[in-house]
Amino acid sequence: MNYKKKSLLGPLSSLKYLFQDPITVRYPKEQKKTYPNHEGCSPQYRGQHTNDLEKCVGCSTCMDICPTGAIEMVEFTDVKDKSGATRKRPVIDYGRCCFCGFCVDVCTSSSLSMSREYIHTFITPHDAKPSDIGGMISDDFVRRPDSSFSENPGWNTPDEWSWLSLDRMVMGIIEPTKRKDSFVEMVRGYSKEEAVKEAQRCVACGLCKEACPIHMDIPEYIDAIWKDDIDESVRQIYKTNPLPEVCGRVCTHKCETACSIGLRGDPLAIRWLKRYAVDSLPLEKYKSVLLNNAIKPANKRVAVIGGGPAGLSAAFFLSLMGYKITIFEADEKVGGIMRYGIPAYRLPDSALDKDIDFIKSLGVEIKTNTRVGKEIEFNKIKSEYDAVILSTGFNLGRSTRIPGSQSKGVVQALDFLSDTRDFAAKKKKEVEITENILVIGGGNVAFDCSRSAARLQMMKYGKVNVTQICLETLDIIPADKEEVDESAEEGVVLICGRGPKQVMIDENGKVKGLDHMKCNSVFDENMNFNPKFNEEDKAVCEATMIIEAIGQAPDYSYISDDVKSKMKFERGKIVLDKNNETGAEKIYAAGDIVKGPDIVNAIADGLRSAIALDKNLNK
């Protein structure tokens, strides 16, 4: 460019702009023409917030990321209660907000967005005292975003642009073809790198804590895993959970259902992280890590009848409170449903034993092969001990009671699983199976049966022919989704929405199949179990062996009549009063016989009964 071409008249060229429209506009009188189809500001302008209060779960991630501390979570009464959510909603102080939109980019429920509204006016009331006006203005800046600006949407964050890590760290699982013929644990567990990466996804919202029956400090132990502090992580886990090796493998993980990351992507693998933490700490170190304070002896003895999850939980917590515990177990080893129900490919003995060994190391006495009512009288225990906790669980199989269900080829789930477990532990040489097995039921136990049966068939016959039939359709099936998927991978055929009508028997008295009909609905309008069938829609499923896995029943025959008469029963379960007492003196109850239906609830129940017992004995 030639800068020598100087001209004094050059600047006069600006005169031509005298009669042109100015570049800046007087909004809203005039409109900018920059943005197509949008008046005012740009289509993704970061203006005042919009929050879908119904969609918001109150996870407070927006508050945590806010760089200016403008967001506060406040509990509101006009917000509806829903599961996996709190009643807290963000309140924004626009005096601090810098409109960065980070809150929107990390919103787990995608409820928070920003609008194109940016004009904020405050009309000072005429009668306001000058000294009050400052306070009035700053109060006016604090607002709870709702849907009022939703018709003028601006910056919003679809999953694609979310800052959250939505994809779960893939868990190594033995391939279906390799796992089909063995009872080796199929889930490999996370390595350190994988666990740290998975833990990194957590936003520590604490919704999981609310959903967990034992309210585990999940964000805390995940944070410890992220910081590679296994000791602290196990310490946090053991605060409320005495069976973490078990829960780390087979828990029904209500926490993962509530996980706020799950609203946009895959929920955190909380269960596997727990497993990683406890797997990483050897049993020898447990005492030094967990038992920092000396236990003060209470000089009282408590008997626990039944060494299942509830009994072990109660024993653990009572031991920590200083009680001397004796567990009476009918079987050869404690563990209950965890040892004799859940198949070894989901929960190996070594993991269960680690949990139990730690509980034992607290001084808990375990009397195995001691069936109460047979080897020892109930009343004897009652008189010898200061208190008794009943935790015998649902140990009897429940039959469909359809015609033919008493035949020889029809077996109960718990008996079958117990035999399978013994087989896997090489205590038994063979489990009785046939080449064509049918399983009735749609819960996790039913899937345990069908998948165990498939493995046994594979080992014996080299092929799988297992059919599973259940009342529920896939959308309401009570089993975990992964059970449904993994069983299909292993060759189990699932027939949903069908109910059993009768077991077909051949002329030799052997099972030859199941006559089944369509199930129209499983629950009535009060959500009680009350299936309705369409008997005209019939079909036959051929099978030479049928496993009934439709639920279990309790056995109260060991309890003496005088005690039983003081207790209240409802639908086969013991009803506790508001103090978690049974009504009978010195007798407490926990586990499936009180609440159910899973291990983590049993642990919670064990803790509840331990607290009730301690309160009464220390009166």
Return residues touching another protein (CB under 8 A).
1, 3, 5-8, 10-11, 13-14, 22-24, 32, 34-36, 41-46, 61, 64-68, 98-102, 105-106, 114, 154-155, 161, 163-165, 197, 199-204, 223, 226
| Residue type for position 173 | I
- Residue closer to another protein by CB (options 268, 402) is 268
Angle separating helix axes 230-238 and 283-290, nearest 10 degrees: 70
Contact 262, 59 (CB under 8 A): no
Closest approach, Cβ 278 to another protein, in A, equals 21
The residue whose two tokens read 């520590």 is 204
The 3-class SS string of 568-607 reads EEECCEEECCCCCCCCCCCEEECCCCCCCCCHHHHHHHHH
Contact 213, 604 (CB under 8 A): yes
Closest approach, Cβ 23 to another protein, in A, equals 4
- Residue closer to another protein by CB (options 223, 598) is 223
Contact 95, 130 (CB under 8 A): no
- Residue closer to another protein by CB (options 68, 361) is 68
Closest approach, Cβ 62 to another protein, in A, equals 11
State the burial class of residue 573 (Cβ atoms within 10 Å of its Cβ: 0-12, 13-18, 19+).
middle
Between strands 387-390 and 301-305, the pairing is parallel
Closest approach, Cβ 244 to another protein, in A, equals 22
- Residue closer to another protein by CB (options 101, 513) is 101
Closest approach, Cβ 335 to another protein, in A, equals 36
- Residue closer to another protein by CB (options 218, 417) is 218
How far apart (Å, rounded) are the C-alpha atoms in residues 366 and 435? 40
How far apart (Å, rounded) are the C-alpha atoms in residues 586 and 305? 13
- Residue closer to another protein by CB (options 35, 556) is 35
3-state secondary structure of 156: coil
- Residue closer to another protein by CB (options 97, 470) is 97
3-state secondary structure of 12: helix
Contact 366, 335 (CB under 8 A): no
How far apart (Å, rounded) are the C-alpha atoms in residues 110 and 295? 48
The residue whose two tokens read 């259940």 is 470
- Residue closer to another protein by CB (options 227, 427) is 227
Closest approach, Cβ 220 to another protein, in A, equals 13
How far apart (Å, rounded) are the C-alpha atoms in residues 212 and 214? 5
Contact 366, 405 (CB under 8 A): no
- For the chain, helix (H) and strand (E) counts, in that order, are 21, 22
- Residue closer to another protein by CB (options 219, 551) is 219
Q: Got the DSSP string for 393-458? A: ---EE-----TTTTSTTEEEHHHHHHHHHHHHTTSSS-----SSEEEE--SHHHHHHHHHHHHHHH
- Residue closer to another protein by CB (options 99, 523) is 99
Closest approach, Cβ 143 to another protein, in A, equals 20
Alpha carbon separation from 357 to 340, 362, 439 (Å, rounded): 17, 9, 35
Task: Report phi then psi at 147, rounded to 5.
Answer: -90, 10
Closest approach, Cβ 238 to another protein, in A, equals 23
Closest approach, Cβ 96 to another protein, in A, equals 12
- Residue closer to another protein by CB (options 101, 499) is 101
Contact 152, 115 (CB under 8 A): yes
The residue whose two tokens read 């969609």 is 55
Closest approach, Cβ 165 to another protein, in A, equals 5
Closest approach, Cβ 88 to another protein, in A, equals 17
Strands (E) across 342-395 are located at 365-367, 387-390
Contact 198, 268 (CB under 8 A): yes
Other C-beta atoms lying within 10 Å of the C-beta of residue 396: 14
Closest approach, Cβ 11 to another protein, in A, equals 5
- Residue closer to another protein by CB (options 157, 392) is 157
CA angle 443, 446, 447 (to 5 degrees): 90
Closest approach, Cβ 144 to another protein, in A, equals 22
Strands (E) across 16-153 are located at 49-51, 71-75, 88-93, 112-114, 142-143
- Residue closer to another protein by CB (options 116, 586) is 116
- Residue closer to another protein by CB (options 68, 557) is 68
Strand partners, 179: none
Residue 331: DSSP 8-state? S
Closest approach, Cβ 203 to another protein, in A, equals 5
How far apart (Å, rounded) are the C-alpha atoms in residues 587 and 618? 15
- Residue closer to another protein by CB (options 5, 429) is 5
Question: b or e along 94-103 (b: 16 or more beta carbons within 10 Å of the residue's beta carbon)?
Answer: eeebebebbb
Which ranges constitute the DSSP H helices of 253-394? 254-258, 270-280, 283-290, 309-320, 337-340, 349-361, 378-384
- Residue closer to another protein by CB (options 116, 180) is 116
